[in-house]
Each structure stands twice: as C-alpha cells, then as structure tokens.
Structure 1
Amino acid sequence: MRMTRREFHRLTLLAGMSLLGGEGRGDDGSTVALVKTGDRNYGVHRAVELLGGADFGGRGVYLKASYNSADPFPASTHPDALRALVGVLLRCGAGRVVLAERSGMGRTRAVMRELGVLELIRDLGLDFLPLEEPGVAAWRRVDLPGSHWSRGVEVPAFLGDGGCVVQLCNLKTHRFGGGYSASLKNSIGLLAKYDPENGYNYMRELHASDDQCFLIAEANQAYTPRLLVMDASSVFVSGGPEAGEEAHPGVIAASTDRVALDAVGLAILERSGAAVAGGKAGVFGQGQISRAAELGLGARSAAGIRLVTGDARSQAYASRLEYILLHPAETP
C-alpha cells in the first residue's frame, strides 16, 4: 500500500514523539532496534549494533532459542539466525555458549535431531542442555507469590546463579493459548514440565488455565535476560505454534526489554494481518503484555518504547508500527 505525503508527515511526527520516551524503563531499557532486511546474518548483527552492542567479558552464555516442535521456521529457529547470533555472541566476548531447551511438542533431543540442529550445534561448537533429560540440569523452585501459579514454577538453577541468558525468539500466533508467541512465551521452554521431586505437571496447569496469558508473564519473573533477538523474517498470522498462515515482514529486532520487544512484535503481527492485540486497549491490553508491564518486567506503555533504525526503509516500517502502538483505536 502506498503512503500519501500527508500520511508520511503524520507518521514521521509520531515517530519523533515516540523517540522522546515516556513511561517505562527509560530510553535505554525500552529501546527496540529494528532492521528491515532479507539477510538474517546482516539483520542480527545490525540490530545488536544499533542497541549499542554487548560485552560479555568472557562470561558463559545460556542461549534459549525456539525448538518447541520439529517443524521448520517460523515454528522453530531458523539455522541461519542461530548461526548469526552465535557469531554476535562470540564477537562480543562470550565464553562458553550453551544452548538450553525444552521442547513442548516432543522430546527435545529428538526434535532437534529431526531439524538438523544437533549437527549445527557441533559445527558451531556449542554445548547442549536438553532440560527434560534426567540429571542434565539442577532445578530450583521459584514461589511467585501473588501469581496465578498454584505452586510457583521450577527453573534451571543457572537462572538463579547469575547465569547470563540470551534469547532468540520467533514471532507467531499461538492457537493453544496466550494469543501469540515471542520472547515472553519463549521463556516457558526454560521451565520444568514436571516437578523433579513429586512429578507435578506445571505445563498441564498452564495450558488448562483460563489465565494462561497471565501465567506466561508471571513465569518471566524467574529471570532477566541479558539480550533478546527476534526473527520476524516470516511469521504465522493465524494458527501456530507449529503451523499456520504465513506472512513475511522481513524484520529482525533486538532489545534488552522483553515487554517492549513483544509489544513491537504484536504491532508487526497486526501490521501483517493477525488479530491478537487487546482490542481498543491496543497492544498493552493483550494479556501477556499487560501483566508483564504490571509486574515491572519492562516498558509500562507504548509511549515508553523507543524504536531505533539505521536506514530509511527500516524507519518507514518502524513509523507504521509506532502508529499501531500509539493509536490502537485508529488502526484499521
């Protein structure tokens, strides 16, 4: 769709307003870098660069990608995105990089074998932590008082031991609950499915709850990621998480604020034809986003999000997203 001169000036003005910041974690904490590109390697490197880069100082990094099922991108992480992000981590001084994962639709090792990821892990020199396998990970209980979880959640001990976590998420609608899947939902793949002591099924509780969006957000209190990268080169705009109708935004985004990143992701989905936002309340009326914002996990409103780009094409797209974020009631 072509944009008139009047629309261009209006969107440019709105972009300037959003760059001033507002409520939330401030300009740095709620910055989302956006790159419109068909080149994943360039997009991942450029998005992190636009954030100001990162310095891991030789620390080990736990990398949480998205391997919920043995289905190709955008259901699962694209191998080029994983390769690109590992390159960024190493360039930024990461020491040992561990790919930590728990698949939801199948056994993790089998899922990753079918996708060819085990070979890629070896090629990239990564360590692999399939979280549901006995003896692979130590676990700790996080109680989450005041949450919708009946007994908190179990998370890998490294989340409480100062472990440095980086996320690589996809963007898609999710028909089984939660409405959509991005960085907040991707964190569920770090939780134990069963209590290692008594066998309680945390995932059954999650998926049976009418408040699934809230539970997803609340589980994110268990840790704070150091960096998040979203591969929205292609997305599901209906169906999901393993299959659905695809759209192709051609976007790579990065942030240190998972609420801001997910909010931008929802705007991308809406721009692409999906219907998952919070009605007249907009993106911040969606359950995952609203609860995460309420808990102080990131930006508290759309006005607190600062989109940064490095080229005219990306800025034009970002301006459209900013309009969706700031004026939900006016968005067709």
Structure 2
Amino acid sequence: MDRRNFLKHLASLSALLASGAWVGCAPSTSATTRRMPLRVGASAANPTRKRSPVALISAIDRREATEKALGMFSIVLRGKRVFIQPTLHSRKPSPYSTHTHILATLARHCRSHECTELAVGTRHPDQPTAPLFRAKQLPTMARELGFDLLAIDELPSHQWRHVRPEPSAWEQGFALPRQVLDADVYIQLTTALVGDEPPHLKMALHGARGLLGRRVPGTEHNLFEELASSADPTARQLELVEARPPDLILLDAIDVDMEPRRYERCGVFIAGVDPLAVDAVGLALMRRYQTPDVLADGELFDHPLLRAAASRGSMISSASEIELLSDEASAPLAEELGARLGI
C-alpha cells in the first residue's frame, strides 16, 4: 500500500473514532503511529450513516493480535478506572476461556498507559470461580501485573448494584457488580462458542451473563433460576448488555468451537465496540464452516438473538451499519464476510 492510500485509510478510521461510537472512550492523539494499514470493507454505500467499526486481524499469535487490536481501537486509559471481563466457561483453554496471553497483554497495556485502577472479574455460572482462577494461575498474574482479581460469585452484598430498567423483562430487576458499573472503561474478552441452549450463540452478547448476580440485593429472589426458567431468555440477556455496554470487545476467533469435540482453526481476531456488530461478524465467520443447524439457517440478522438485539435501538439495527476494517492479510476474508453480511 502506498503512502497516499495508507493516509486515506487512517483518515477513514479516525472519522469513525471521532463519531463517538462508544461511551467513555476517546481516540488518543498519539495513536496513529501505532495503527496498522487498513482496508475499509464494502459498507460505505451511505457515507453519512454512522457505522460501527469491526476489525478483522489475521493471527495465530494472541499477544500480537491483542496489541494490533489495541492499536486500531485506541482508548484513553490514563487516569481511568478499567474493568476487564474475561470469558470463563471452564478451565479448558480457548475457546472455553480467555487465553492468558490475551489477558496478560491487555493488563500490561493498561498499566503502561497509566490507568488508576485495574480490575479483572467474571464468574462461572455453575461452579465456584476462584478454583478456576487458580487452575489458570490468574492470582499469580494479578500479583505480577498489578490488578485486582474478582471472583464475582464471592463479592459481598455491598458490592452489588440493583438495576431496574423500565420496562423490564426481569421480575424485580437484576444485580451487577459495582466495579463494572463504576468503571470508566469496560473491556470484554470473549470467544466463539455454540451453546447447547437457545439462543445458542455465545460471544459478545452472551458475555454479560458472566456479570450477573445470583440474587436481587436484599432479597431471596434467585436471578439464575429466573433466567433458566424463562421460555425465552433473550430479552433479559440483552438488558444486561444495555445496563453496561462494553467500551471495547476483543473476540478471540483463532480457534472456534462449532459443536462438542469439533474445533475449527479460523486464525482470526475480531475487535469492535458494538456487541451486536461483533456477534454478527462472528456468526458470518462461523458460517464459513460446517455450521450446526441452529446457526446455519436464514439471513444472519434472522438469528433470534441478533434480530432481537437489532430491534431494541441501543445497538446497530442492521448489517449496513457495520464498517469492516482489515489488515492486508485479512482483506480477502473481509470481502467474503462483507458479502455474507450483505454490505
């Protein structure tokens, strides 16, 4: 790529960043020297529409992929309180849990950019979280890199906030940790999994479940039981996302779990600021392979979770609002996924 086109692509990304596409983040004035040469995908038919950027990075090395993503989506960290939520479905490696190389790279980045507070927290829905943290040696990492490690299922009652949207699908509202609601910057680390239960897609929109409190503060009302007994948990799940949307999402799709005991080496790292946009691109990626029937049928935005999220007005409303960004290596993939998305 020549210098003229390189500067043109940087200008396109700068316009997206300046549009205020995410809360609590701003472009760094010194970040352009760290950005990769970009290719803008095929979604520029309406240049006046604000589009949500989703970056595709061809990668096998997760440290390098994380650094590239952070260079493309520069956020102000100096003087900020940062909360990082990794994926922790089990003690198994990615895609069942966030790879430690990603978490360590991100933690070092936050500390080197002088954040004032750094917390890493999530929970396993069925098992005690702290033993899973120990199995992945996260307490040692926390001491070495200087962050607070929060097993959310062990938080005391005063660390929970009662959230009551109006209207709400939840019977009595729900509870989220004070640390994530008070954070200036919330970064979600997710993976690509096919779930056993509806809506089956376990990526960015599913990640908020890892922040849910078991009970409504001050009551015996069990939120996990309410969610499990719901005929359709989608509306409740999306309210969790809306209560505190991520400021940056890093989706590790280097390895993807398509169904039990079958993995695909996709070799792709996805980064974005809108959970629906990230999941739409992630689903388009998964459909390149032998996809389970629950994810394979219909248009991408006909998937129940994506359709419900698009109807709420808090995220993108269609694929035309996605701006695909790629480096040179992932440009052919960006073209293919753009075609699958219809952009």
Aligned match for 1:166, one of 187, 193, 201: 187
Matched, 1:149 2:170: yes
What is the aligned-residue identity percentage?
26
Give the unaligned 5+ runs of structure 1: 1-14, 328-332
Kept in 2: contact 1:23–1:301 (CA 8 A): no
> Separation in 1 of the partners of 2:193 and 2:107?
23
Per-residue deviation, residues 23-82 of structure 1 (Å, max 9, x unmatched): 97x13xx1011101111111111122223x121222120111111322222101111111
Identify if the C-alpha distance between structure 1 residues 136 and 22 changes in structure 2 by more than 3 Å, giving closer, same or farther: farther
C-alpha separation in 1, matches of 2:253 and 2:158: 30
1:180 to 201, 204, 221: 201
Report the equivalent of 1:325.
341
2:42 counterpart SS class: helix
Do the aligned partners of 1:277 and 1:285 also contact (CA within 8 Å) in 2? no
User: Is contact 1:188–1:219 with CA below 8 Å preserved after alignment?
Assistant: yes
- The SS at the match of 1:252 is strand
1:122 aligned partner, one-letter code? R
**Cα distance 1:90–1:273, how it changes in 2: closer, same or farther (>3 A)?**
farther
Matched, 1:288 2:316: no
Q: Does residue 1:105 correspond to 2:126, yes or no?
A: yes
Q: RMSD across aligned C-alpha pairs, in angstroms?
A: 2.2
- 2:301 is equivalent to residue 308 of structure 1: no
Structure 2 residue aligned with 1:274, among 268, 272, 291? 291
What one-letter code is carried by the residue in structure 2 that aligns with 1:177?
A: P
2:159 to 128, 138, 149: 138
Query: Within 1, Cα distance between the matches of 2:113 and 2:310?
Result: 29
1:73 is paired with a residue of what secondary structure? Answer: coil
Contact kept in structure 2, 1:68 and 1:105, CA below 8 Å: no
Aligned to 2:69: 47
CA distance in 2, matches of 1:89, 1:144: 32
Contact 2:42/2:338 (8 A) holds in 1: no
How many Å apart are 1:132 and its aligned residue?
Answer: 1.5
Q: Whole-Å Cα distance in 2 between the matches of residues 169 and 121 of structure 1?
A: 19
Partners of 2:41 and 2:147 in 1: how far apart?
A: 41
Identify the match of residue 264 of structure 1 among 260, 278, 281: 281
Aligned to 2:10: none
In the alignment, the residues of structure 1 paired with residue 247 and residue 233 of structure 2 have an alpha-carbon distance, to the nearest angstrom, of: 25
Relative to structure 1, is the Cα distance of residues 210 and 121 closer, same or farther in structure 2, using a 3 angstrom cutoff?
same
Do 1:23 and 1:304's aligned partners in 2 also have CA atoms closer than 8 Å? no
| TM-score relative to the length of structure 2 | 0.81
Q: Quickly say closer, same or farther: Cα 1:21–1:91, change in 2 above 3 A.
A: farther
Partner amino acid, structure 2, of 1:119: T
2:226 corresponds in structure 1 to 205
**Distance of 1:21 and 1:277 partners within structure 2:** 29
User: How many equivalent residue pairs?
Assistant: 303
Distance 1:64 1:246 in 2: 24
CA offset digits 1:219-264 (Å, max 9, x no partner): 212112221111111011114xxxx421111111111111111111
Per the alignment, in what secondary structure is the counterpart of residue 249 of structure 2? strand
Alignment partners' CA distance in 2, 1:305 and 1:22: 12
The 8 Å contact of residues 22 and 303 in structure 1, kept in 2 or not, is answered as no
Q: Which amino acid aligns with 2:325?
A: V
Tell me the distance in 2 between the aligned counterparts of 1:250 and 1:104: 28
